[in-house]
Amino acid sequence: MGSAEEDRVIGRSGNREIGKAKANLPQGEITVFGLSNALMLLNGLLRYRHPDFTNEMLDDIERFLVGLKEHPFQIPEKLAAIRTARLMASREKRVPTRNQG
């Protein structure tokens, strides 16, 4: 992904487009429109490029998956793992270890 400003713009427009696609996509024709392929791609991006996703983007993805009748490819589990890793990393930076004397 690009600069921080590009990421914010992409995140805002992506959120708008994801919501629009979900609302307008006929549930019976998901396969025809390739939603499964898009979810598979998103799954791979979350696995290998997770640092490129902001917390807001992760929230948008999670909201998109709610009520979707398509296989989620363990995306909810990846979102939880990414958030957990970020929390652990931020905690390790703030809390000194006990053996530091």
pLDDT tens column, 26-41 = 767 666 677 888 899 9
- Name 75's Cβ contacts closer than 8 Å, sequence gap at least 6: 39, 42, 43, 46, 61, 65
pTM here is 0.68
pLDDT digits (tens, 9 = 90+) for 14-25: 667 767 777 777
Query: How far apart are alpha carbons 98 and 83 in whole angstroms?
Result: 25
Gap between the terminal Cα atoms of the chain: 41
Burial (0-12, 13-18, 19+ Cβ within 10 Å), 39 = buried
